Structures are given as structure tokens and as C-alpha cells.
Copies of this chain bind each other. A is one copy, B any other.
Amino acid sequence: MIIVLKPKLSRKDETAVIREIRKLGYKPHIMRGVARTVIGAIGDELTHQSLESLPGMFPNAIESVMPVQKRYKFVSREAHPADSAITVLGNAIGGRKFQVMAGPCSVDSEKQLLTVAHAVKAAGATILRGGAFKPRTSPYEFQGLGLKGLKLLAKARRETGLGVITELLSEDHAEMVAEFTDIIQIGARNAQNFQLLIAAARTGKPILLKRGLSMRIEEWLLAGEYVLSNNNPNLLFCERGIRTFETYTRNTLDLSTIPIIKKESHLPIVIDPSQGAGRADLVAAMCKGAVAMGADALLIEVHPNPAEAWSDGAQQLSVALFARLMEDLKPFIAAAGRE
């Protein structure tokens, strides 16, 4: 930790600060600069108590405290220099092969789910997504089919051989959801619901951790640290857009997270362009960018076949669009050195 003292501080006040730094177990190292004195507090910031409350104790003596060390350990590239891959039904996410997870936003019916599952498998996806428990901004919106939805996912898994990813919303459902899914998804609104993260980690299933709407990268890595420090090494980070002032898109997809997560961590990074854009017409471009920048996988919402719903088959087009997208991605996957 670096402690910057206020200018023209008396020796008495300086001594009081130094005494406290020592008391908290750090070795103080004093540097007298031109305008200010700076104290380096030497000690392991992960095991020692934080000094971030020091300015509150000495409001007239301390200007600021700056951490030097990184606060995450198990998720860090320093701790594990080689890439980690998470394997689901024989498909490694984070290896040479690029993976696609696709399916409906929520599981609505058996027919809808199976139609989409077969379609995305045919187009090359290896994992089926679909929400059985849906977090909704309003209590008056559809909250998902629950257990019935989980069973439909299991059926689609048996029929197609696709792995399954679905969201966990409640600590109390952790074991039930783990029984039916290959990857547990933690949604953006629960990304700092640490109790849920711990409950999910303890099932032993791989966890896909979406970035919270206003989560800094360091906080995201630390949320991931909750999973790994609870003895579950199988973590995937998933960027799905952050909240900014822009209103054209629902969220701002932050694709710079791809090289950043690769730099800071050994764990795979997945991009969700559907949530990121909130607009189907931007998804294809987002996917190309994600592939080119080195993402390990995509998580894409594919609309079900509405059949009787639309004479012009808007939704069939959506399944068709997904198939075309998978074709269009191929040269980019090759250019990125993936399969």
C-alpha cells in the first residue's frame, strides 16, 4: 500500500500514522518528496488487513491510500500462466476449438425448445441455452417455467446430445438446477450476489459468470475468486454489455474485456452479443468482432420457430439467420487461428 500524506504535516501527526501502519502489521518505508511525503507500507495486502480505512481515521493527515498488489489470486494469470479450458460433454471451452452456445431466451414449451435445439445443433452449436428461471425487472412479467423448464432442457439434451446451460436465481435451487444442467449461469444482476456464487460453486458444476451492469473488471475477477476459492476451478467469464449513458443500444458491449481477461486471467471468456446489443440487427457484427478479438465462445439467443404465428415466418428467419451467421463466422474463426 502507498499512503500519501497531506502537505506540511507535523511530525507528531506523521508519527501517529506510522505507528498505526506498524500496528496493522506493515513495515513502513518513508519517502520525502518535493510537495508531499509518501509512505510505502510493505506487507502482503491479501493477508493483512486493508489500509483503506486509514484516511477515515486520519482525515487531516492522509490524502489518499493506493493499493499496489492485485486483490485476486486463483483467477489470476500470475497464479496459473497457462490457459485453462472447461470441458462440457467432450467439448473444451477455452481450447483451440471455438464454441457456440445458443437457444431461446426462456424455455416456453417443449415444441419451441426442441425445434430450436435441433436447429442450433444442425448449425454447429454444441451447447443449448434456455432460461427456466428468469429474473425480470417487473414482478408482473413471465418468471419462467421453473422445474418444468429444467426437465424440458434435460429432454432436449437427451434428444440432441447438446450440453445445457441455464441460469440459477436462488441459493435454494442450486442442487436442483445442478442436476439438470452442464453449466450454471449466474446472471448480471446477481454477479455480486456472493451467497449465490458460493452455493453455485459448491455444486461442482462449471459456472458461467456474467459481468454485472456496472461492474469494474477488478470486481468481476474478484467475484470469480469467490467461485475458485470455494474449490470450484471451472469458471467462465461472460461479457454481456455494461450500462452507460448510451440509449441506442440497451447495453454497451465491452469487447475490450476479451484481451483484458486473457491478460489478467487464465480462464475462458465468453461473449453474449444478444444481451449486449439488445437488438438482433447488431448481433452478427458483434459476433465477428468477438471471434476476431480472441473470445473462446459465444452465447447467442435464437428465436424459436413460431410456425403458426407469422405468415412471413419472421422467427423461422431467425433460425435461418443463426445458421447463416455460423457460416459467416467461419473465415473469422480461421483468421483467429481457431477451429
Contact = CB atoms under 8 A, between A and B. Distances in A.
Contacts of A36: 68-69
A296 interface: no
A16 B315 CA distance: 13
A103 B334 CA distance: 30
B252 A286 contact: no
Nearest to A142: B49
A316 to B, nearest CB: 11
Could you say how many copies of this chain the assembly holds? Answer: 4
A31 interface: yes
Interface stretch (A53-61, A84-92, A94-102, A154-162): A53-61
Nearest to A335: B331
A20 B310 contact: yes
Nearest to A219: B137
Interface stretch (A110-118, A120-128, A237-245): A237-245
A335 B292 CA distance: 10
B42 A229 contact: no
Interface string A305-323: 0000111101100100000
A313 B14 CA distance: 15
Contacts of A258: 285, 289
A199 to B, nearest CB: 9
14 contacts: A56-B303, A71-B137, A71-B138, A72-B138, A73-B140, A138-B222, A170-B171, A170-B195, A171-B195, A214-B214, A242-B245, A252-B254, A256-B277, A256-B282
